[in-house]
Amino acid sequence: MSMRVVHVPRDAWRSQAEAFHDEGYGLLADLTAVDYLQFPQRELPAEVEPQRFEVVCVLRRFEPVDAVRLRTQVPEDDPVLDSLTSRYPGAEAFEREVFDLFGITFRGHPDLSRILMPEDWEGHPLRKDYSVGRVPVQFKEVRRHR
């Protein structure tokens, strides 16, 4: 099965997902984000203006079997997108994970709080500019037996 890819303008994200839901795509199988900080000139259709972040979701239907991938660009200076939880309740945990790890806010989400990192954690670990820091590693001298 090949998967159709639909590039959606950010302001049409929810309405496009709802339209697919009405066409029988009742399962939100995945929702995640990508940080293109180091790859701003990626290949996109001519009408799509690349932004730092892209949110991607996969919607499926079972009769007839089909899937569609929705992709939308989210700018770094306004990382906000409408939540899909009103039509796809299963988006709740996916959106919290994207919020936690990328810092993208989902407007209308019922409980947009951290899901993996502690509540007092600063930053978003899957952003390409997030400093992971370094912990020095000390190796113990190995004694060889003869």
Chunked mean pLDDT (size 10), the chain, 146 residues: 91 98 97 96 95 98 96 98 97 98 97 93 93 68 68
Is residue 47 included in any domain, yes or no?
yes
Is residue 125 included in any domain, yes or no?
no
Q: Tell me the CA distances in angstroms from 8 to 13, 22, 23, one per residue in order.
A: 6, 17, 17
Is residue 117 included in any domain, yes or no?
no
Is residue 75 included in any domain, yes or no?
yes
The amino acid sitting at 4 is: R
Question: Which residues lie closer than 8 Å to 43 by C-beta, 6 or more apart?
Answer: none
CATH classification at residue 50:
3.30.460.80
Q: Are 26 and 37 in contact (CB under 8 A)?
A: no
Q: What is the pLDDT at residue 44?
A: 96
Counting beta carbons within 10 angstroms of the beta carbon of residue 79, is it exposed (0 to 12), middle (13 to 18) or buried (19 or more)?
buried
Question: Which residues lie closer than 8 Å to 118 by C-beta, 6 or more apart?
Answer: none
Is residue 17 included in any domain, yes or no?
yes
Domain of residue 26: give its range.
4-107
Is residue 145 included in any domain, yes or no?
no
Q: What is the pLDDT at residue 87?
A: 97
Is residue 134 included in any domain, yes or no?
no
Q: What is the pLDDT at residue 12?
A: 98
pTM here is 0.88
Number of domains in the chain: 1
Q: What is the pLDDT at residue 131?
A: 84
Is residue 139 included in any domain, yes or no?
no
Q: What is the pLDDT at residue 45?
A: 96
